[in-house]
Structure 1
Amino acid sequence: MNEKYSIQAEINILASLGRDLAATTDAETAAKIILDAADNLMGWDACYLILYDPKKGGVPRPLLTIDTVNKERIFQRDAAPQKPSENMLKAIEQGGFLSQYEEFFEVEPSNSFGDRSQRTLSQLFVPVVSGSRTIGILSIQSYQKYYYDNKQLVLLNDLASHCAGALERIWAQEALEDFVERLKILHSAVNAINASLEMERVCQVVYETVIKVMPCNDFVIDGYDSSSNEIVPIYAIENPDKRVYTNRYVADHGMAGEIVRTRMPLLFTSQREMAESTIKFELYGSTDIDPTESVLAVPMILHGEIYGMVSAQSFEMNAYDRDDLYLLEVLASHAAIAIENARLFDSIQHLANTDPLTGILNRRRFFELAELEFSKAENSTQP
């Protein structure tokens, strides 16, 4: 393909790109600026810009995907890859590459977008690298054979390098704003967690907070009885939002058993990682096949003693990251205090209402219950 612009024109486009990116804080707007620059430099029929950090993992985030359908460029909103494609990983590994094809070829639907009845035949893929960190993948593609060559590959790499810093800034700013909002939700729930002396209510508030700040299909709070070395179920929710009750088990296995033993958090992003952990999980619930793909579990520790575990679980791969881990650890620390306070309150109530020798209700408690029954009878319309 002949160059569309002279060297000076390329310099002008890249300079304008830098100015435009500096003026925006919106990721999709930044992506459009970058892809417009690529179009001015080289042209394209289809393109995408996807954020993905291979060191952090997680689900790739498409900022913009565009395809040409019936000679009209259409923004594609259905691109939602659950994991990086082979082309994305290859671009990261090789620092970018050029693909040329002679004719239509089949591609997994999850790895394509737009008009799937035709296939781009000339494709460029480059990583977006800021310093030593890869933050995404940029690809431009044409329906014409041999539309691009290695010179355009070098130029697209230059373009990606030119915009990497701005993209990283915008991504970091968005992540920070999201994290701050989640922290606000968490902190507003702390008072409610600490205010209640009812165990069930404490756990319910913790669960309701978790589902507001991170993905959560199943949720578990387990206690630990050190005298018997057993995991004691406290609270469990099974998707969809169903309260379930489980049994005690010896702490020599299971996720809670692992947490109690190591006092360290667990973060799994796939069933493969769970299988490789060699943990013998204690399963519960009504489904024969566990659909859980991601697990986050943190210890409840108070005054140096292990009190149990809090765990959020998702049916999606790569559902959690280190920010989620931090938020759950903060919640678990408050949950440990509130649960211990609830236990102490129950213990005091029990001592106040029972005879220490016989273990049955004392005289005062009998009178209190009798008064309650008399009040019910007075308010009842039944004889």
Structure 2
Amino acid sequence: MRGDAADRTHPPELGDCRDPIEHDPVGVFVLVGGRLSYADAAFLDVLGRSRSELIGRPFEGLVAEEDRPSIAALLDRSSAAIGKIESCRFVRNNGTTRPREVVIRRIDGKDLVIGTVRGAIPQIRSGRLHGLWELGKGLTEIGDVGALCERAALYVRDDLDYDFCAIWLTEGAEMVQHGAAANPFFPAGEIPMRGMRIPVEGRGITHLAIKHSEPVIVPDVTRDDRYDGSRTSMRSALAVPLIGRKGPIGVIEVESQRRAAFGGQDLEVLSALGSQLAIAISALRQEESLRLINGFGQQIAAASTVEQVVAGTIDFLAEQFDYQLSVLFLGGSEGDLKVAGARGPYGERGVEIGWSLPPGEGIVGWVARNRRYAIVDDVRRDPRYYEAFSGTRSEIAVPVTFSGELYGVLNVESKDPGFFDEEDRRVLEVIANHLVIALSNLASKESLREQAIRDPLTGMYNRHYFNSIIEAEFNRSNRYNHPLTLMMIDIDGFREVNNRLGHLKGDDVLRQIARVIGESVRAADHVIRYGGDEFLILMPETREEAEMVAKRLKERIAKLPEEAGIPGISLGLSIGIYLRPPGEGRSLQAILEEVDRKMYADKREHGPDRTDGHDHPPPDDAR
């Protein structure tokens, strides 16, 4: 029953790669008088020679010199060995050796021996595994993934004595060749160049090994359409996946000129190598991730806007960690969470920049409320989940906090269940730390900037700010052929507030007047506290609208004494308006003198009792 269950779940396209020991090559030979009289094709493949080269040669001369005494003893008639096993290394036509087991059976009373040659013996296996242990120590001293793969490929070719080896690593939807080694007889065009890229999805044993996270053995590439390599001299192939913490991260591809060259021991050794290589690569990638995250932190720390910080964060998650479904929420002005940046098909549910998460909803809402991370292996089983993308199966969210204050939530999703683990959590928390530092720095800079350009009493812009923007506004007016209006305002009757009620009440009334002015203009307009009780309004792209604003302001300020609790005191505004046409050559000084003249003309028009302006102490930056 267990075997049946395994058969039902095993992908049929992998063939019989689960039982590679069945493919251990077994060569048959016959000796007469110690000389070779017959050799089958598998035995010829072991030596890489033709039958005519071998027939009649002493068997001892086919093995390495140091193995000849043991082979001679095995063949000695006096030993009367039946089914005895001995190890040796056969010498191939190119000078390399093949470790094999030799089993002989002597025909009674005759000088006739029938023998078989099969895969590596336990002693050779032990030596290979010891060699892997030595290699593993060397791999830990290599600090580059490419050099790591090159060293492993050379080991496969030289120490394990395979004809060809290539090591491919996944990068997103592609596999990249990071190391290759081949015997000298290979044409240069049949060896893939380092850096070569192929899609992860596709035909061939490397793709199958990645797809199913299982090794694939092809005993005869000429009869198996799973092999799609271009090396015409190859006869058998093996692909072993490199398994990382989240599945396959690459493939070791090995090929041989011999048919059925790969068996159980080959798979065992290469799987052990694959495990060592995957661990070493993962460790290097983790170190590289830390370096990249530190570089990311420096990059966003230099950003001058929140938009630059958000875009840099979302791009970094996708490009360096392949997080293709990510959303950064930042706190809104009303304490809600708004989408500041997103990567993925979230638009299908209306989740886009500026979208507000319903208060307390979703795993993100839970993380914001509890100030702690959440990893959800299957969102379909979590009642907290708020669906923003129908393809999401797993999710991780970490809070973006600083000194206990919540700035936002960093949320990443995957189409695969159980995709995220503690390593992802650590990575995202480090990124969140860099993110909140950058946001905090920007907030501090913005706060300092606001202090430098705002009047501390009224909260309106100050004269320093006006001087810093006016030239740019003139240029913009000229470039887009739009007029620009300057409105100078002086508060009439303000001396009486100070004389009768004191300067503290005067400060309060001045703040209320500034509020009314701010509420009466557009968001694109700039209200500046220009002097003690003088205000200047810069109004881009306006014509007759300025007259309507002036009328509205006078009406509202006339009603303010009653609203402010100062009945019996009359307040009004004297307003001068200057419309600057685009391209006008008058200097700023001349324009300010003209608008000031018009303001006093408006004040005189209302009578001598309305000429008591400039009574209030000017702001610190007034000149």
Q: TM-score range by the shorter chain?
A: 0.5 to 0.7
| Equivalent residue number for residue 229 of structure 2 | 114
Structure 2 length-normalised TM: 0.40
Residue 281 of structure 1, aligned match among 372, 387, 391: 387
Structure 2 matches for 1:206-245, cutoff 5 A?
206-208=310-312, 211-212=315-316, 214=320, 215=322, 220-224=327-331, 230-233=336-339, 235-236=340-341, 245=353
Contact persistence 1:189–1:209 (CA under 8 A):
no
Q: Is the 8 A contact 2:150 2:179 kept in 1?
A: no
1:78 equivalent in alignment to 2:197: yes
AA in 2 matched with 1:179: S
Residue 36 of structure 1 and its aligned partner are, at CA, apart by 0.8
Q: In the TM superposition, what whole-angstrom CA distance separates every residue of 1:333-370 from its partner, at most 9, and x where no partner exists?
A: 32553466478679975961296546334798253644
For 2:160 and 2:279, locate their aligned partners in 1 and report how far apart those are by CA, in whole Å.
23
Using the alignment, how far apart are the partners of 1:220 and 1:346 within structure 2?
A: 29
Q: 1:360 aligns with which of 476, 497, 516?
A: 516
Which residue among 252, 274, 295 is the counterpart of 1:185? 295
Distance 2:409 2:439 in 1: 9
Q: Distance in 1 between matches of 2:434 and 2:394?
A: 19
2:156 aligned residue: 35
- Residue 269 (structure 2) pairs with residue 158 (structure 1): yes
Q: Report matched runs for 1:3-42 at 5 Å.
A: 4-5=98-99, 22=138, 25=142, 26-37=147-158, 40=161
What's the CA shift string for 1:276-330, capped at 9, x where partnerless? 66732347xxxxxx89999764322233343322356899998996264244222
RMSD in angstroms over aligned alpha carbons? 5.8
Residue of structure 1 equivalent to 2:431: 328
SS at match of 1:158: helix
Cα distance in 1 for partners of 2:579, 2:287 equals 53
Q: Which aligned pairs between 1:42-53 and structure 2 lie closer than 5 A?
A: 43-44=162-163, 47-50=165-168
The 5 A counterparts of 1:273-312 are 279-282=385-388, 297-311=397-411
Distance 2:527 2:332 in 1: 32
The letter for the 2-side match of 1:253 is E
Secondary structure of the structure 2 residue equivalent to 1:309: strand
Partner letter of residue 333 of structure 1?
V
Report the secondary structure of 1:188's partner residue: helix
Q: CA deviation at 1:32?
A: 1.9
Render the CA deviation track for 1:164-203: whole Å, top value 9, x for unaligned: 54x367425532541343133134236435xx6xxxx134
> What amino acid is aligned across from residue 250 of structure 1 in structure 2?
P
Distance of aligned partners of 1:376 and 1:291 in 2 relative to their CA distance in 1, 3 Å threshold: farther
Q: Which structure 1 segments of 5+ residues have no match?
A: 284-289
- Residue by residue over 1:194-243, the C-alpha shift from the partner in whole angstroms, topping out at 9 and shown as x without a partner, is xx6xxxx1341343255357357676442346977x4334x33668xxxx
Alpha-carbon distance between aligned partners in 2 of 1:218 and 1:168, rounded to the nearest angstrom: 26
Three-state SS of the structure 1 residue aligned to 2:329 is strand
Is 1:140 the counterpart of 2:243? The answer is no
* d(CA) in 1 for partners of 2:251, 2:409: 38
Pick the structure with greater CA Rg.
2
CA distance in 2 between counterparts of 1:120 and 1:237 reads 48
Contact residue 527 and residue 538 of structure 2 kept, 8 A: no
Residues 105, 67 of structure 1: alpha-carbon distance in 2 compared, 3 angstrom cutoff: farther
Bigger Cα displacement from structure 2, 313-322 vs 209-218: 313-322
Cα distance in 1, alignment partners of residues 323 and 579 from structure 2: 41
Q: Is the 8 A contact 1:217 1:238 kept in 2?
A: yes
Whichever residue aligns with residue 312 of structure 2, its letter is E
Partner in structure 2 of residue 247 of structure 1 = 355
Q: C-alpha distance in 2, partners of 1:382/1:221?
A: 48
Output the amino acid matched with 1:299. Answer: P
Counterpart selection for 2:367 from 252, 255, 259: 259
Distance 1:376 1:67, change over 3 A: farther
Distance 2:381 2:168 in 1: 29
Structure 2, gaps ≥5 residues long? 1-24, 26-42, 47-97, 101-120, 345-351, 462-509, 519-525, 541-576, 587-623
